[in-house]
């Protein structure tokens, strides 16, 4: 009997073996036959000692708790690398073939312990994308939607993104990138810079504020070209 074929009937513990390649896990033998493996936390909780009798009902509860514990540890490892939305975490646990009831229990526990919070996740992602990666609100909104964050949390997170912060970030993105082109052909440079910013999720309003700021430095206001600008062309101008 391998670990994928766990025993469902009770018996007497005849052997307990530490798994050589997996820390904190033990193989339990009942009546001389391998029955299941268990994390040491549950082994202590259920007082699994050599010679102890494990009833069938107790074994059933133990195996459910073991699956819950495995799902929880897996989720914590995922969250330790980066924050994740509830939707993302559920999808990853489903990939690991945990049952829906086990996943529900795991997410409930993580929520109650404060490790899973879509509102906080949305707020922190919006801040990081805006300030560190210099992405605009439209980009952030789409990313949060893709991660399954509820609409109300997305809207609350976007309210925390200050437009002036967006303008500063957008300005830093294009001020050097298009400096030489601006001197050669300011109209073409404006179109390319505006399209670049909009593809990164900035609004037209933010893009125009940046263009006006650049115009103050390098000459000519955006009013000289914006009226004839085709947004679709700008978005695809490279």
**108-164 pLDDT tens trace:** 999 999 999 999 999 999 999 999 999 999 999 999 999 999 999 999 999 999 999
pLDDT at 184: 87
pLDDT at 226: 46
Question: What is the rounded distance in angstroms from the CA atom of residue 82 to the CA atom of residue 79?
Answer: 5
Q: Which residues of the chain have pLDDT under 50?
A: 1-2, 4, 222-231, 233-234
Residues paired with residue 30 on neighbouring β-strands, in sequence order: 13, 33
**What is the CB neighbour count within 10 angstroms for residue 107?**
19
pLDDT at 237: 57
pLDDT at 9: 81
139: closest CA among 129, 147, 131? 129
Task: Output the six-digit token pair for 103.
Answer: 């996943």
Confidence (pTM) = 0.79
What is the spatial order of strands in the sheet that 11-18 belongs to?
Answer: 33-39, 25-30, 11-18, 53-54
Task: Output the six-digit token pair for 138.
Answer: 């439209």
pLDDT at 5: 56
């Amino acid at each position: 009997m391998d670990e994928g074929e766990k025993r469902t009937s009770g018996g007497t513990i005849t052997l307990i073996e530490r798994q050589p390649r997996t820390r904190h896990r033990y193989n339990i033998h009942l009546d001389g036959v391998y029955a299941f493996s268990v994390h040491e936390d549950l082994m202590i909780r259920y007082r699994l000692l050599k010679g102890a009798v494990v009833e069938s009902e107790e074994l059933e509860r133990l195996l459910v708790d073991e699956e819950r514990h495995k799902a929880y540890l897996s989720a914590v490892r995922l969250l330790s690398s980066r924050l994740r939305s509830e939707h993302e975490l559920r999808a990853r646990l489903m990939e690991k073939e945990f049952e829906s009831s086990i996943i529900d229990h795991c997410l409930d526990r993580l929520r109650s312990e404060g490790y899973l919070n879509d509102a906080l996740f949305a707020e922190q992602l919006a801040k990081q994308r805006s300030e560190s990666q210099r992405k605009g609100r439209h980009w952030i909104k789409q990313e949060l939607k893709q991660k399954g964050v509820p609409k109300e949390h997305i809207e609350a997170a976007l309210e925390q993104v200050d437009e002036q912060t967006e303008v500063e970030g957008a300005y830093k993105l294009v001020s050097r990138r298009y400096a030489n082109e601006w001197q050669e052909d300011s109209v073409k440079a404006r179109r390319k810079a505006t399209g670049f910013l909009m593809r990164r999720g900035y609004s037209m309003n933010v893009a125009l504020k940046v263009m006006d700021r650049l115009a103050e430095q390098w000459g000519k206001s955006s009013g000289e070209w914006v009226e004839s600008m085709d947004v679709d062309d700008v978005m695809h101008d490279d």
